[in-house]
Amino acid sequence: MRPTAVYNVFGGNIFGRMKNTKTKTKSKAANEVNTRIFVESGFGRVINELKKSNVFLVVDHNVYKCYSNELNFDIPKFVMKAGESNKTLQTVGDIITAMLEHKCNRKTRLIALGGGVVGDTAGFAAASFMRGTEWVSIPTTLLSQVDSGVGGKTGVNIGNRKNMAGAFWAPKKVIVSCDFLGTLPEREWLSGIGEVVKTAILDPAVWELVYKNRLLLDRHDPRLYERIVKACIDFKDKITKRDFREGGLRMILNLGHTVGHALESVDGYRLSHGEYVAWGILHELRINEELIEPSFLPQARELVGSVLCGRSDPYSKYDKLVVAKYMRSDKKNTGSKVTFVVPTDLGLTEVVEKNI
Ligand code: NAD
Ligand code: ZN
């Protein structure tokens, strides 16, 4: 089987044959992604940002409650309900209405403080308010710090269809403080770790740090996570700057998501997104094992296995044909074949289409 595209994360697209797509040139994408990123401990920079003039805060109830002491000052804000079911056009409308009530204008900077749900929803409100206002992303979950908070994909769900309305709208600034992770529930840790493992398998620099520390990941040591978050963000920022609008290279970030999304749907979203992604990576390694370097395959399996240790595999509960049907309905597919991201070796990734 010939791959649709082969990517070497050191050298970009070394052999791209994406059908009907074009990878943006580095300079054009970089113009759209003029984001300054800060990863540090403490809340100093966060509070400074919030105390600037003409800002508007969007936060969810949980984060607002956890950080009520830090946020105990006057600031125009919208506190949204927490959770995926509130990532809707209705919430975007409510945010914009609140901004108008607070006399916000085109120069207002929207600040999204929260996990991926707040970031995606508030980012889309920023892209829409008066045809686009600047925004600052302050991600507070591990998943949003290593993934959704960086990269400028914003959007909301339409009914039960994920991310069906949205915009590529890069934040001006991303401020990451790993101190926010101190209040993160256990389930959200595992969700973030799923995306950390995905990034490690794609990027040698993250691999170096994460594989070596794989047995320490569940200890949630803030110093280790600050290094991991920094490395993951560097990788995502590099990919985003080369291919902001997902013309090609950015697709590699979907590793584990072909099976992961199918499992989410078939299993009814019982587990966290990142846990489904981790199970997804494990099954995609199996499905595509003939394409993977024999010395790398067991190490990749070992890394994913170490974070899923003791958990039961959602895939094993369902008929394989039913899971395959969900995979075929994935929006990445172009025809009847299923698109997979295959880590053929450390730092080398292929995008392939397969009949399953
Ligand atoms: P989330 O935003 O729902 O947060 C998870 C839970 O943790 C929520 O209940 C939230 O209130 C709570 N929370 C957040 N920060 C906290 C903190 N510091 N302490 C205590 N509780 C806290 O979920 P998520 O996993 O951060 O994000 C998932 C969303 O991200 C999905 O909608 C997904 O589609 C999206 N996403 C977007 C991208 C992108 O590129 N835009 C990439 C991946 C995922
Ligand atoms: Zn994901």
**Averaged over 157-175, what is the pLDDT?**
93
Residues with Cβ within 8 Å of 43's Cβ and at least 6 positions away in sequence, in order, are 70, 177, 179
173-177 and 135-139 beta bridge pairing = parallel
Cβ atoms of 116 and 86 within 8 Å: the answer is no
The structural domain count of the chain equals 2
The Å distance, Cα 147 to ligand 2 centre, comes to 8
Candidate of 62, 239, 264 to mutate for ligand 1, largest count of ligand atoms within 8 Å of Cβ: 62
Domain end call among 142, 160, 183 = 183
What is the residue with the minimal CA distance to atom 20 of ligand 1? 184
Query: What range does the domain containing 227 cover?
Result: 5-23+186-354
Q: What is the CATH number of the domain that holds 229?
A: 1.20.1090.10
For residues 244 and 270, membership in a common domain is answered with: yes
The Å distance, Cα 99 to ligand 2 centre, comes to 30
As a whole number of angstroms, the distance between CA 90 and CA 319 comes to 37
As a whole number of angstroms, the distance between CA 284 and CA 76 comes to 46
For residues 244 and 302, membership in a common domain is answered with: yes
What is the residue with the minimal CA distance to atom 14 of ligand 1? 115
Domain end call among 133, 165, 183 = 183
Cβ atoms of 275 and 327 within 8 Å: the answer is no
The Å distance, Cα 195 to ligand 2 centre, comes to 6
For residues 235 and 128, membership in a common domain is answered with: no
Per-residue model confidence as pLDDT tens digits over 6-49: 877 654 443 343 333 344 444 455 557 889 999 999 999 999 99
Q: Which residues are identified as catalytic?
A: 131, 153, 195, 236, 246, 250, 254, 257, 261, 273
Looking from the CA of residue 83, the nearest atom of ligand 1 is: 3
User: Would you call 85 exposed, middle or buried from its count of C-beta atoms within 10 A (0-12, 13-18, 19+)?
Assistant: exposed
pLDDT of residue 16: 41
Sign of CA dihedral 180, 185, 190, 194: negative
- HSE, CB side, 13 Å, CA atoms: give it for residue 345: 7
Residue 170 has pLDDT above 80, yes or no: yes
Exposure class string for 120-129: b at 16+ Cβ within 10 A, else e = bbbbbbbbbb
The Å distance, Cα 54 to ligand 2 centre, comes to 33
pLDDT of residue 356: 85
For residues 179 and 320, membership in a common domain is answered with: no
**Residue 162 in tokens:** 């994920």
As a whole number of angstroms, the distance between CA 192 and CA 201 comes to 15
**Residue 16 in tokens:** 């791209």
CA distances from 44 to 31, 39, 143, 337 (A): 29, 12, 22, 50
For residues 169 and 287, membership in a common domain is answered with: no
Looking from the CA of residue 141, the nearest atom of ligand 1 is: 15
For residues 215 and 329, membership in a common domain is answered with: yes
Sign of CA dihedral 192, 190, 225, 222: positive
Distance of CA 301 to the CA centre of its chain: 21
**Averaged over 213-242, what is the pLDDT?**
95
Q: What is the CATH number of the domain that holds 161?
A: 3.40.50.1970
Pocket of ligand 1 (CB under 6 A): 60, 62-63, 66, 82-84, 87, 114-118, 120, 140-141, 143-144, 147-148, 151, 153, 162-163, 180, 183-184, 188, 191, 273
77-80 and 55-60 beta bridge pairing = parallel
For residues 218 and 115, membership in a common domain is answered with: no
Of all residues in the chain, the percent with pLDDT exceeding 70 is: 93
Cβ atoms of 304 and 278 within 8 Å: the answer is yes
Q: In residues, how long is the chain?
A: 356
Cβ atoms of 179 and 222 within 8 Å: the answer is yes
For residues 193 and 335, membership in a common domain is answered with: yes
Q: Which ligand is nearest to the CA of 257?
A: 2
pLDDT of residue 76: 98
Candidate of 33, 79, 144 to mutate for ligand 1, largest count of ligand atoms within 8 Å of Cβ: 144
For residues 47 and 146, membership in a common domain is answered with: yes
Residue 79 has pLDDT above 50, yes or no: yes
Domain end call among 160, 183, 206 = 183
| Claim: this prediction has a pTM higher than 0.85 | yes
Question: Which of 7-11, 61-65, 247-251 holds the top average pLDDT?
Answer: 61-65
Q: Where are the alpha helices (DSSP H) in 114-218?
A: 116-128, 142-143, 186-202, 204-212
**Residue 159 in tokens:** 């009914």
CA distances from 230 to 41, 47, 206 (A): 12, 21, 9
Per-residue model confidence as pLDDT tens digits over 112-157: 999 999 999 999 999 999 999 999 999 999 999 999 999 999 999 9
For residues 194 and 280, membership in a common domain is answered with: yes
What is the residue with the minimal CA distance to atom 17 of ligand 1? 184
As a whole number of angstroms, the distance between CA 220 and CA 355 comes to 40
The Å distance, Cα 164 to ligand 2 centre, comes to 15
Per-residue model confidence as pLDDT tens digits over 195-226: 999 999 999 999 999 999 999 999 999 999 99
For residues 177 and 303, membership in a common domain is answered with: no
For residues 39 and 173, membership in a common domain is answered with: yes
Q: Which ligand is nearest to the CA of 163?
A: 1
Cβ atoms of 252 and 341 within 8 Å: the answer is yes
**Residue 286 in tokens:** 């199996």
What is the residue with the minimal CA distance to atom 39 of ligand 1? 148
Looking from the CA of residue 118, the nearest atom of ligand 1 is: 2
Q: Which ligand is nearest to the CA of 170?
A: 1
The Å distance, Cα 20 to ligand 2 centre, comes to 24
Q: Can you tell me which residue has the tokens 């309305």?
A: 165
